[in-house]
Amino acid sequence: MSLALGIIGMPNVGKSTLLNALTHAHAEASNYPFCTIEKNAGVVPIEDPNLRALAAALDPEEVTPATIDFVDIAGLVKGASRGEGLGNKFLGHIRDVDAVVHVVRCFADENVAHVDGRVDPVADLEIVETELLLADLESLERIADRVQREGKADPKAAQADLARVTTLSDAVKQGVPLRRLELDEAQRAWAQEFRLLSIKPVVIVANVDESDPAGGGWLEKLQAQAGPHAEVLATPVKIEAELAALPSEEREAFAADLGLEGVGLERVVEAGRRLLSLITFYTVANEKLRAWLIPAGTPAPQAAGRIHSDMERGFIRMEVMSVADVLAHGSRAALQKLGLIRTEGRGYVVQEGDICLILFQP
C-alpha cells in the first residue's frame, strides 16, 4: 500500500530544502532552476505519543514508528503539460503519489533566483494548477475516446462512463481542480483510477522568511486561490531545515529563541496524514512494538495486508485491545482476565488506537 506525498511547485521555491528538513534525505538544493531532475524520496517517522506510552508500559525490545514517504518532484513551469522543462516526466511523477504538498515562495531574496524573475506566490500557484488541469484535460479526452471505442459491447455502461467523463471535463475546462467537485464515493473512486492530477488532495506550504511569518501578506490571497479544500501552512522552510539538523534537546529551545511556535515540520507531516485520512493501529509480537498507518475505514483483512500480503490472503480473525486499556492495566494477561480483548472477523473496520493480534493461515 503506497502512502506517499509528492512535494511540487515552481523551481527554486524550497521543495528540496523541505524534503531535506523532513527526512534528512540530503537532496541537492541549489540556486538554479531544475537542480532536481530525478525525483528524490525520503521516509518520515510519525511523532506518536501513544507509541511512546506503550513502549514505556510494555518495554519491548524493538519499537518502530509508522512512516509516510515524501517525494521531491522537480519544479514545474508554464508549458509543463506540453513538455516544457521536462514537464511530462515530472507530471508522471505526480501521478504516482497519493497526495500533494505544494510549496510556494513567499519571500524575496536576490540571492535565490526565480524562474520568472519575480516573487508572486499566487501566480506560481496558478501556473502549476493550470498545468495540472491541462494535463488532466488531455487525459480525459483520451479516456472519452477509449470509452466510445469500447462502448459497443455495453452501450448503457459506456453512456454512464461518458457522462462521468463529461462532468470532470467540464470542471477542468472551467479551471476547477477536480478535488473541489462534490463527488460521491463511487464517482471519486472511478476518477482516481485514471490517476488524474487535480483530484489529488493538496496542502499549500507557504515558504516564508523567519522574520516575516505572515509571508508578506500573501497567506490570505493564497487561501482564496487554493479554495476551501486546501489548507495553507506558513512554514519558514530554510530555518526548519536548520532546526531539523539540531539534536532534539536543542531544537525546541532554538525555535523558542526565534519566536517559532512548535516545529513547523510536524504540522506539515500531520497535514499529510489528514490529507490521506490516515489512522494508526499497533501490533505487539515477538517483543516488537510497531505502529502502522492505514486509511480510515479499512477492514481488518486489508489492515493485515498492510503488514504482509500473506496475512490478508490467509486472514482468519483479529484479536483487538485498546491503547487506553493496555496503559490502564499493563499487560495482555491482565486484559484477558478482565475480558477486554475482543475477537473480530473479516467485516471489522480497524479503529484509531487498536492494538491487533492477527491470526491467519500461511
* pLDDT digits 0-9 by tens, 341-357: 999 999 999 999 999 99
H/E element, 167? helix 155-173
H/E element, 150? helix 121-150
Q: What is the mean predicted confidence (pLDDT) over 193-222?
A: 89
Residue of 201 and 82 predicted with greater confidence:
201
Dihedral sign from CA coordinates of 108, 102, 41, 47: positive
The Cα–Cα gap between 125 and 225 comes to 8
Inform me whether the pLDDT recorded for 37 exceeds 60: no
| Contact between 357 and 282 (Cβ < 8 Å) | no
Q: What is the mean predicted confidence (pLDDT) over 260-288?
A: 84
Name residues whose C-beta falls within 8 Å of residue 128's C-beta, 6 or more positions apart in sequence: 8, 9, 10, 76, 102
CA distances from 50 to 45, 65, 322, 335, 354 (A): 14, 10, 11, 18, 11
Helices (H), 204-356: 219-226, 237-244, 248-257, 264-275, 300-307, 309-313, 323-329, 332-338
Under the banding of pLDDT at 50, 70 and 90, the label for residue 31 is: very low
Residue of 29 and 199 predicted with greater confidence:
199
Name, of 28-37, 77-86, 106-115, 173-182, the range with top average pLDDT: 173-182
Amino acid, res. 143: I
Q: What is the mean predicted confidence (pLDDT) over 84-97?
A: 69
Mean pLDDT of the chain: 84
For the chain, the first-to-last Cα distance in angstroms comes to: 20
Under the banding of pLDDT at 50, 70 and 90, the label for residue 294 is: very high
Amino acid, res. 349: V
Question: Percent of the chain having pLDDT more than 90?
Answer: 46
pLDDT on residue 280: 96
pLDDT on residue 142: 92
Domains for the chain: give ranges and CATH numbers. Answer: 4-275 (3.40.50.300), 297-360 (3.10.20.30)
The Cα–Cα gap between 71 and 54 comes to 30
CA distances from 19 to 85, 181, 286, 339, 350 (A): 21, 30, 34, 46, 31
* pLDDT digits 0-9 by tens, 99-147: 999 999 998 777 666 666 678 899 999 999 998 999 999 999 999 998 8
pLDDT on residue 55: 94
Helix (H/G/I), strand (E/B), else coil: 164: helix
Q: Which residues pair with 70 in a beta bridge?
A: 5, 42
Cell of 124: 506560481
The torsion angle over the Cα atoms of residues 84, 85, 90 and 91, rounded to 10 degrees, is -20
